[in-house]
A and B are shown apart, each in its own frame.
Chain A
Amino acid sequence: MSSYLPSRVFEQLQEHKRALFVKKPTVATRKASEMALTVINEATDRLIGGSADLTHSNLTITKGAISIKPREFSGRYIHYGVREHAMGAAMNGLALHGGFVPYGGTFLVFTDYARGAIRLSALMRQRVIYVLTHDSIGLGEDGPTHQPVEHLAMLRATPNLYVFRPADAIETAECWEIALRSRETPSALCLSRQNLPVVRPADNDENLCARGAYVLYETEGERDVTLLATGSEVEIALNAAKLLAAEHAVQAAVVSMPCWELFESQPISYRQEVLGRAPRVAAEAASRLGWDRWLGEIGAFVGMTGFGASAPAKALYEHFAITAEAVSKAALSLVCRVGAADSLAARILEKQN
């Protein structure tokens, strides 16, 4: 009844990642999660999936998985019904009992309903994996009731919980690997509804997400600014960096931060290397709370300041100004401000001399 996962799971995931580097699929990270799960579930029968009545939105069921039914317990997929809280608690029970690694899906916004159980997953150090899709205004038409804003901050504030927000299919596979390897920490995989391109430039067997954050795009010379982003906003940050270089000759590095908690646990030297000494701009389609830890005193944030709205995702990103242009503008403003301060300091020094 052990919950041990065979090494085959991780070998297959590595193969999957290599294939992704070749194919470079543009898919929603919820889809990328399904792709990773397909590989994982083929390699082991220890994972028990499920969803709180959002199976085909969360993409949590894999091909061939049989559902658990009343008095028929041979399956590996659980239809929890519209019961997010009980789903979380039941997953805690599955994990505590031993024998299984449970994962279950719902929309990120409904972590509000599951919160009590998520907190206990973390407190009890159980390997429970929450698959939380539709992770921003990118959810679109369902509107503000279904669009999470403060939820990432809530999850990140929870001790002993890994909050992952992968940017593409490769990061998603890596985050799944970390979640499976984390025997004493539950994971929240925050995944997009909308399609996202592969942003990882080079084929690399190393699990870069395991460091929590890493430099995705480095400048050739000294950085003028560093752009920090997670998930669906990493693509936006990359485009902003291109804009800044092409139109303003500003050198912007881009850092993907799929897991703050893991980044926090890195040596300070690594964190400094990643964050750099240039001013920072963060982009995340959520509330700002927590980002100042990474921005420092001189920084700017591009994200949500209130609730979302009902409209197609693209229109919402424009409406709430979470775009490459907005990030570029914020970066420019910051660079100019810092530049002004530097010149002021230079004048003061000159006068003293």
Chain B
Amino acid sequence: MHESNFVASSGLDHTREVSPHEMANAIRVLAMDAVERAKSGHPGMPMGMADVATVLFTRFLKFDPLDPAWPDRDRFVLSAGHGSMLQYALHHLLGYVDMTVEELQRFRQLGARTAGHPEHGHALGIETTTGPLGQGLATAVGMALAERMLNTRFGDEIVDHYTYVIAGDGCLMEGISHEAIDFAGHLALKRLIVLWDDNRISIDGPTALSTSTDQLTRFQACGWQVESVDGHEPEQVAAALARAKSADRLSRRLSDCHWIWRAEQGGIGNGTRCSLRSSRSRRRADPPRVERFPFRRSRANQDGMESGRGARANRPDGLARASGKFAASTCLSPGHVLLSPQPRF
């Protein structure tokens, strides 16, 4: 690693805060480069969900990259597992110690932590293996149920977290999705929030080839609260997530974003592609910020996050020095659709 030399010569100020837009673009570039290098993978989902993921991870998700097993962390499930680079890029930017740039460079290679689809146990913070579409969504139902059951037993001081899912069109087409959302709606699992990436594309072509379902209505019929927002408008996403969280009742919001269109308009598809090195330089130039929540912080405190330099920037491996407490990470976040079970009964 010649990281420090590189940074030194870059002349870039990596102490300034990174904007959500920059973070999202960093995710996009990392995803593009990794997929390009592997000549395999699915860049579309990370492209489209980068803004949403940035909002979720930097403003809502309660987690600590330096303590990925913290029991009261929020659970994040990338049900659309083919978009694995979204999660790997996030973990890299957020400072998960095992998600180095080398791992990103080895995306989809034998023995890499960055398997084609997220594999539980391969990398820190991968809460469950996903890839078979719909499985992540249904597994998250169990996680959200476990949270409520433990909360009932031990109280808010000990157990007080959310389960977030990024699901794609395919997840919602699979039959298991209906079992899952029906069951979650019935139980009123208000701590389960699903962000649906309504990108309207499938392998064979537009999803219109094979589905005409009004997903929002379907979720509503199962007892979910739904909401549709533009996934490329961070404030819209944030507001919807805040509403989903604050609902006393079950809230699941579905945000319906036409992100493909947005992406085209936003210049994501301008054809600028960076090499992994250049993406790394981008990361160095714009070190992601991390927000770390103190263990067991009270709910009242959770809105006032303490922030600091990105954990990765402070790592002792040359990427950064650690000093003091601080926090973590950074930037990216998922999704488009927010769904939460709504208290209908």
> Roughly how many angstroms separate A68 CA and B152 CA in the complex, as a whole number?
11
A85: chain B residues at CB < 8 Å are 138, 175-176, 179
List 26 interface pairs A-B (beta carbons < 8 Å), by A numbering.
A48-B149, A69-B187, A70-B188, A71-B187, A89-B135, A90-B138, A90-B141, A90-B142, A90-B180, A92-B128, A92-B142, A93-B138, A94-B142, A96-B127, A96-B139, A96-B143, A97-B143, A97-B150, A98-B71, A100-B146, A117-B176, A119-B132, A120-B129, A120-B135, A123-B129, A124-B121
Which secondary structure characterizes the binding site on chain B?
Answer: helix
> Which residues 100-125 of B sit at the A interface, judged by CB distance below 8 A?
119-121
Q: Give the residue of B75, B152, B186, B345 whose beta carbon is less than 8 angstroms from that of A73.
A: B152
> Roughly how many angstroms separate A96 CA and B142 CA in the complex, as a whole number?
9
Is A181 an interface residue when CB atoms closer than 8 A count as contact?
no
> Roughly how many angstroms separate A74 CA and B149 CA in the complex, as a whole number?
6
Is B85 an interface residue when CB atoms closer than 8 A count as contact?
no
Chain B: how many interface residues by the 8 Å CB criterion?
39
Please give 19 more A-B residue pairs, beta carbons under 8 A apart, in addition to A92-B142, A116-B135, A120-B139. Answer: A48-B149, A81-B179, A83-B182, A85-B179, A86-B182, A89-B135, A89-B139, A92-B139, A93-B139, A93-B142, A93-B143, A93-B145, A94-B145, A96-B143, A97-B75, A100-B146, A116-B132, A120-B132, A123-B129
B22: chain A residues at CB < 8 Å are none
Contact of A86 with B138 in the complex, beta carbons under 8 Å: yes
> Roughly how many angstroms separate A102 CA and B142 CA in the complex, as a whole number?
10
Name A91's closest neighbour in chain B (CB-CB). B142
> Roughly how many angstroms separate A120 CA and B128 CA in the complex, as a whole number?
9
Q: A51-73: contact bitstring with B at CB < 8 Å (1 yes, 0 no)?
A: 00000000000000000111101
Contact of B139 with A90 in the complex, beta carbons under 8 Å: yes
If A68-B145, A90-B145 touch, whether A83 touches B183 (CB-CB below 8 Å) is: yes
Is A125 an interface residue when CB atoms closer than 8 A count as contact?
yes
Contact of B147 with A90 in the complex, beta carbons under 8 Å: no
Q: Top 10 A-B pairs ranked by shortest CB distance?
A: A93-B142, A89-B138, A86-B179, A90-B142, A97-B146, A83-B179, A93-B143, A73-B148, A93-B139, A73-B152
> Roughly how many angstroms separate A91 CA and B140 CA in the complex, as a whole number?
10
Is A22 an interface residue when CB atoms closer than 8 A count as contact?
no
> Which residues 170-192 of B sit at the A interface, judged by CB distance below 8 A?
175-176, 179-180, 182-183, 186-188
A-B contact count (CB 8 A): 119
A124: chain B residues at CB < 8 Å are 120-121, 128-129
A83: chain B residues at CB < 8 Å are 179-180, 182-183
A119: chain B residues at CB < 8 Å are 132
B128: chain A residues at CB < 8 Å are 92-93, 96, 120, 124
> Roughly how many angstroms separate A98 CA and B69 CA in the complex, as a whole number?
10
Is A1 an interface residue when CB atoms closer than 8 A count as contact?
yes
Name B159's closest neighbour in chain A (CB-CB). A1
Name A69's closest neighbour in chain B (CB-CB). B187
Is B39 an interface residue when CB atoms closer than 8 A count as contact?
no
Contact of A86 with B152 in the complex, beta carbons under 8 Å: no
> Which residues 93-127 of A sit at the B interface, judged by CB distance below 8 A?
93-100, 102, 116-117, 119-120, 123-125
Is A80 an interface residue when CB atoms closer than 8 A count as contact?
yes
If A85-B176, A98-B146 touch, whether A125 touches B121 (CB-CB below 8 Å) is: yes
> Roughly how many angstroms separate A98 CA and B186 CA in the complex, as a whole number?
23
B153: chain A residues at CB < 8 Å are 74
> Roughly how many angstroms separate A80 CA and B176 CA in the complex, as a whole number?
13
B302: chain A residues at CB < 8 Å are none
Contact of A70 with B146 in the complex, beta carbons under 8 Å: no
> Roughly how many angstroms separate A74 CA and B145 CA in the complex, as a whole number?
11
Contact of A86 with B159 in the complex, beta carbons under 8 Å: no
B145: chain A residues at CB < 8 Å are 68, 73, 78, 90, 93-94
B121: chain A residues at CB < 8 Å are 124-125
Contact of A97 with B129 in the complex, beta carbons under 8 Å: no
A55 CB to nearest B CB, Å: 16
A117: chain B residues at CB < 8 Å are 135, 138-139, 176
B120 CB to nearest A CB, Å: 5
B140: chain A residues at CB < 8 Å are 93
B147: chain A residues at CB < 8 Å are 97
Is B151 an interface residue when CB atoms closer than 8 A count as contact?
yes
If A90-B145, A91-B142, A123-B129 touch, whether A1 touches B179 (CB-CB below 8 Å) is: no
> Which residues 112-151 of A sit at the B interface, judged by CB distance below 8 A?
116-117, 119-120, 123-125
A100: chain B residues at CB < 8 Å are 146, 149
> Roughly how many angstroms separate A132 CA and B240 CA in the complex, as a whole number?
42
Name A83's closest neighbour in chain B (CB-CB). B179
B343: chain A residues at CB < 8 Å are 71
A305 CB to nearest B CB, Å: 31
Contact of B180 with A89 in the complex, beta carbons under 8 Å: yes
Interface centre among B71, B135, B139, B343 (most CB of A within 10 A): B139
Contact of A1 with B183 in the complex, beta carbons under 8 Å: no
A125: chain B residues at CB < 8 Å are 121
Contact of B345 with A70 in the complex, beta carbons under 8 Å: yes
> Which residues 325-345 of B sit at the A interface, judged by CB distance below 8 A?
343, 345
> Which residues 197-222 of A sit at the B interface, judged by CB distance below 8 A?
none
> Roughly how many angstroms separate A73 CA and B343 CA in the complex, as a whole number?
15
> Roughly how many angstroms separate A91 CA and B183 CA in the complex, as a whole number?
13
> Roughly how many angstroms separate A232 CA and B138 CA in the complex, as a whole number?
34
A8 CB to nearest B CB, Å: 19
